[in-house]
Each structure stands twice: as structure tokens, then as C-alpha cells.
Homo-oligomer: A and B are copies of this chain.
Amino acid sequence: MDFPRPYSLTEIADLIEGKVFVKGTGDVLGMNELHIVRPGDISFVDHPKYFNKALNSDATFVIINKEVEAPAGKGLILHDKPFDAFNRLSLHFRRFKSCNQVISASAEIGEGTIIQPGAFIGNNVTIGKNCLIHANVSIYDNTVIGNNVIIHSNTVIGSDAYYFQKREDGYEKFQSGGRVILDNNVEIGASCSIDRGVSGDTFIGEGTKMDNQCQVGHDTIIGKNCLIGAFAAIAGVTVIEDDVVLWARVAINKDIVVGKGTVLLATSAIDKSVKGGKVLMGAPAIEVRQYWKNYVAMRQLPELLKKIK
């Protein structure tokens, strides 16, 4: 998430009631989780196991719960609950605002775009030209939609990340301050749900077409000209490169990369990154030829066991 203007580290520390103990270089330009930080960002870390990763990441600033030494140029804020502090920043910059209008007055909607009855367009949403938003679609605040985008009925764009931390007395929610961005010529089927990023953006690339009943988790990046079949379960923080084809009911785990041109056949699931250009099947998915070999062998197994006995 980019801040609306550069902030001094002291200003940020005041917002979260923390203490600057290493000053760092320059201003704070935005905030992000460690896996997507950019120079100028502030991030957070609350476990010694990840201190080194945080301090040596691209983040220029880190909220941390221990006074440690920092690499040259990095700025640190001491806070006893960095997770809570990060949540407070998200809420400060992107707090949920209720909306009394079906189409928020703050939404910008391009020429030639049709919005059908019952579609909700939240605050600060931008929609390009010649889009078609069907009835009863729900678009949360800050969503960005390009030109010639079609969204079918009852689809949800921008719902919160499903992201909780376990506490002794239950789960604490990681506040979502990110957005969803749909590039030009994207088509999203009916009854889908696409979560926004926690601090970054969930992105769907130009020309990608998604069937009905699909789900995309927070901060996931989908490339250009992909085909996403019905009931795709795409977890958060995952990268799906260009020209990937998912047949129906594919499941893709979080935090992995699906290489360019990968084809996942129906009902397949993957929990690890895969290189591009292959046709995969099964759960976990393997090359389709091998899948059918295994399948044929499995069908001979009862006979084999009988013989052996």
C-alpha cells in the first residue's frame, strides 16, 4: 500500500504509539508485509526467527519488538506488539467506511460502462470504459478495474483477506488495507469471490477469463490471458504466470508459483510451485502421462494382491 504522501518515521511512530530508536534514511512511502516490501516501505516483525529476514529485506523501515542493530540506512520503530501496530496503520490509511449509496459518489466510472441494478460500487472504486457490471455484483472500496471488463452477477470483488493469527483466546484478524486490480479485457464469471490484498494488491492480468464460482485469495497475482475454470480455489500470495489454463475445480496452494503456460486438468491440486509448459493432473498433480500410468497400475492392484496371496 502506498501512503497518500511521504511520512516521516516519527509521524508513523506517533500513529502507532511506538518509539523510533533507529532513524533510517528518507521518508516512509508505504507499508507492506515482508514478502512484497519495496524500498521506502515500512514492514513489521515480531518473532526473533524472522528478525534477520526483516532487517535485510527491501523494507527501509521495520516495526520490531526488540532493540536490535540495523543495517545502514534502515529505520526501526520499537513496539511491543508489531502485528497490532501494523493493523493500526492499515486501519489509519484504509479504514472501512460505510456507504449509504448503492454506487458511492466517490466512485469513478468510465464512459460506456453499464452497471446493472443491485450492483454495489464502494468508495474510491475506479472502473474504466465500456465495462459491464451485472446485477448484484459487490465491489468493495478502492478496487481498480480497467476497460472492457465484464463481471457477472453476484460476484464479489475486494472482500477481506482470510488471514488470522492465533491468540490464547481466539483469532486476531490481520486487517486488509490492500486492493483488487482487474486489468483490461478481464471477464469474471458469476458467484466468484476475489479477496483484496492485506497490504498489497490482488491482481488479474489483461485478457484473463474466469468461469463461475471461483475464489482468489489475497495478494495473489494472475497473469495475462489465463483461463480459470469453474470452482478454482486459488489461495493467497500465489503467482500464476501468463497463459495458464485451469480446468474445473482446480486447487492451488498459497505462496507458490505456477509457471507460464501450465495446464492443470480438472479436479487437480498443487501445493508446490511448478515450472511452466506442462500438462498436469491429480492431487498433488503430476505429468498427465504419469498420472494415467499410476491410475492404470492402481486398477490392477486388487488382482495382483490376490495372485501374491
Chain A residues near B (Cβ < 8 Å):
96, 98-102, 114, 116-118, 120, 122, 132, 134-138, 140, 150, 152-156, 159-160, 162, 164, 169-171, 173, 185, 187, 189-193, 195, 206-207, 209, 211-213, 215, 217, 224-225, 227, 229-231, 233, 235, 248-249, 251, 253, 266-267, 269, 271, 283, 293-294, 296-302, 304-305, 308
Contact = CB atoms under 8 A, between A and B. Distances in A.
A306 to B, nearest CB: 9
Interface of A is mostly: loop
Nearest to A230: B215
Given A120-B136, A154-B138, A302 B308 contact: no
A157 to B, nearest CB: 9
A249 B297 CA distance: 26
Contact of A294 (B213, B266, B302): B302
5 contacts: A134-B159, A136-B154, A152-B156, A171-B227, A217-B230
Given A102-B117, A118-B138, A159 B170 contact: no
Given A99-B117, A185-B170, A231 B231 contact: yes
A189 B163 CA distance: 11
A266 B293 contact: no
Given A120-B136, A266-B271, A251 B251 contact: no
A298 B100 CA distance: 58
A21 to B, nearest CB: 35
